């Protein structure tokens, strides 16, 4: 039950806006092991508001690990210390009484800070808008069972499609590369017969947009996949490279 029996010290990044230099501030907060990490931040913010101070801005919405809105680099790791878990699903039982926890926003030029721990990830939308779709208007579809898709292929496409677009991959990467994010969408749609028709056009358009947004290149470290809360496999980057080279050879 919810006894507040953990005393924690937080070092939280505070930054007024994208142009501010920003700094760490120290806070003390009491938490219970059953709380989620974000609920611990709720407690902190209620405390700050009651004291007449400015609460910490952070992004969050569904709090069940699927919307991709929550972020936070916790003790140097996107979404904190656990594998395959978003910040909202990280619980305080993963920490110990007396711990000092350092909390920062995603770090990437392509994700400018809005305020404190909140960043702007609209660059991801622009990459999808460049080609991350199947060009089919409503009303054009044939019967859903008209095209058979082997279960293995459907499962592999699904695995890639579980990306939540949170940006942890970018934040984990020393080059701030978005290859895992782009690779996941390219892989999903290239695997399926419905997406195959425009696979070449798609991959080139998405990669061009990715470069234009200022994301870095991939140097095969694998931190992206290791820190991905949905455990998107590194193989999607291999697929991305393969699709890209094929498309280039075809003259796209």
Answer whether 54's CB lies under 8 Å from 48's CB: yes
Among the listed residues 20, 28, 62, 219, the single contact to other proteins using CB under 8 A:
62
With H, G, I as helix, E, B as strand and everything else as coil, classify residue 192.
coil
Stretch that binds other proteins, among 21-29, 128-136, 173-181, 240-248 (CB under 8 A): 128-136
Distance CA 117, CA 165 (A): 17
Cβ(28)–Cβ(7) under 8 Å? yes
Our CB check for other proteins shows the closer of 137 and 220 to be 137
Residue 248: CB minimum distance to other proteins, A: 21
Name the minimum Å distance from CB 94 to other proteins: 10
Looking at 73-81, 146-154, 219-227, 232-240, which segment touches other proteins (CB under 8 A)? 146-154
150 is a contact residue toward other proteins (CB under 8 A): yes
Nearest-approach distance from CB 143 to other proteins, in angstroms: 6
Least distance in angstroms from the C-beta of 244 to other proteins: 19
Quick one: 214 or 219, whose CB is closer to other proteins?
214
198 sits near other proteins (criterion: CB under 8 A): no
Nearer to other proteins, 125 or 217 (CB): 125
Beta-bridged to residue 115, according to DSSP, are 118
Tell whether residue 249 is a contact of other proteins (CB under 8 A).
no
Near other proteins in 172-191, by CB under 8 A: 188-189
158 binds other proteins, rule: CB under 8 A? yes
Based on the shown chain and the rule CB under 8 A, indicate whether residue 27 belongs to the binding site for other proteins.
no
Angle among Cα 191, 196, 200 to the nearest 5 degrees reads 110
* Closest CB 185 distance from other proteins, rounded Å: 8
Per DSSP, the residues of 82-123 read STT--GGG-BGGGS-TT-EEEEE----TTS-EEETTEE--HH
Q: Rounded to 5 degrees, what angle do the CA atoms 39, 223, 199 make?
A: 105
Q: Which one of 20-28, 34-42, 210-218, 237-245 is the stretch in contact with other proteins (CB under 8 A)?
A: 34-42
Compute the Cα dihedral for 64, 66, 71, 77 and give only its sign: positive
Question: Using CA atoms, how far apart are residues 174 and 152, in angstroms rounded to an integer?
Answer: 33
Q: In this structure, how many other beta carbons lie within 10 angstroms of the beta carbon of residue 16?
A: 14
- For position 117 contacting other proteins by CB under 8 A, the verdict is no
Residue whose structure tokens are 């870095």: 216
């Amino acid at each position: 039950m919810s006894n507040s029996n953990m005393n924690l010290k937080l070092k939280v990044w505070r930054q007024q806006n994208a142009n501010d230099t920003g700094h760490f501030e120290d806070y003390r907060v009491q938490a219970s092991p059953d709380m989620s990490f974000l609920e611990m931040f709720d407690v902190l913010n209620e405390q700050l508001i009651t004291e007449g101070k400015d609460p910490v801005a952070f992004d969050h919405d569904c709090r069940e690990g699927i919307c991709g809105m929550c972020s936070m680099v916790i003790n140097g790791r996107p979404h904190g210390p656990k594998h395959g878990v978003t910040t909202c699903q990280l619980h305080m039982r993963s920490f110990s009484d007396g711990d000092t926890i350092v909390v920062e926003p995603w770090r990437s030029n392509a994700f400018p800070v809005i305020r404190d721990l909140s960043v702007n990830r609209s660059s991801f939308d622009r990459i999808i808008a460049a080609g991350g779709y199947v060009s089919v208007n409503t009303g054009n579809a044939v019967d859903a069972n008209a095209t058979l898709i082997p279960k293995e292929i459907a499962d592999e496409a699904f695995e890639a499609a579980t990306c939540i677009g949170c940006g942890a991959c970018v934040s984990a990467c020393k080059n701030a590369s978005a290859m895992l994010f782009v690779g996941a969408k390219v892989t999903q749609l290239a695997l399926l017969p419905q997406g195959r028709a425009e696979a070449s056009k798609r991959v080139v358009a998405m990669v061009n947009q990715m470069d234009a947004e200022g994301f870095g290149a991939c140097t095969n470290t694998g931190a992206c996949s290791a820190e991905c809360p949905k455990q998107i496999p590194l193989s999607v980057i291999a697929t991305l490279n393969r699709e890209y080279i094929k498309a280039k050879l075809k003259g796209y």
